[in-house]
Amino acid sequence: MVKALCQQFSPPLLKLPPPHVQSDDECITTTYHAFPRPSVLAAPEVSNVLRSLGFGYRAAFIQRTAKMLVDAQGISTLSTVSLEPAELWLRTLRKMNTAEARVELLKFVGVGRKVADCVLLMSLDKTEVVPVDTHVHQIASKHYGLPSSKAKVNMTPALYEQVNAKLTEVWGTYAGWAHSVLFTSDLKAFSTYGLHSDASSTILPSPSPSPTKRKRKEDRPTKDTTSATLSKVSTLLLREDLPEAGLSLADRVKRRRRGQDTSSSIT
């Protein structure tokens, strides 16, 4: 969707070979487009164009949000200005504290608490923010003692705050990224992310492989490599019985690294 948005409403920026293509053929290139300016997305006809591109209900939200920005911040008449007033204002959200920035984000049409928190964490450097949904609630119930129910639970504002406060208390300054690790490790769809689907079929097994071939086969990464790595990290995040359980996530990582450096120097 982001790619379609940029291609439709922003001129070409540059051309580069795709990162996954290893070829000397200079004709194989990908054209990259910048993200559209708010003034472009604020035009009335944008909603219909976005619907034709498959944006569905998001089409009106995008156009109306861009129009809100432009109406509030204005449009620069200087052609030499690289950023529009609306873009400059959006950058000021990084300098606000989390509560203030959240209030501003919630003013936009279609933006609720979870979407605002996703933006705070992933775009505005608010690393302590934990976006909460039913999946995150299940993680908090399974590993951190929050009350659970077999029945489907509605994500009320009170429950959102309860889950958010608990996970922030446990994980500290980098709670948002700790949440992302556990969220990802719990999803089967990510267990083979980044691995070639045909990796296991590139070398056909022989009836009696030689030691060399057997070694190569054993050295090949399995489909569970990514899942296992995430599992190890998430296990460290979940253990509260460790001596550093009361420390923040950043302090825990530093302490573990110091321990690994010490053990490796001894051996």
- What residues are annotated to the active site? 114
Structure tokens at 54: 């498959």
User: Distance between alpha carbon 57 and the CA centroid of its chain, in Å?
Assistant: 22
At which residue do the structure tokens 């300098």 appear? 95
Give how far Cα 108 sits from Cα of 58, 89, 136, 154, 242, Å: 13, 14, 24, 23, 43
Structure tokens at 160: 């959102």
Instruction: Identify the three-state secondary structure at position 30.
Output: strand
Is residue 205 a contact partner of residue 217, using CB atoms and an 8 Å limit? yes
Strand partners, 32: 14
Distance between CA atoms of 66 and 57, rounded to whole angstroms? 15
- Which H helix or E strand runs over 12? strand 12-16
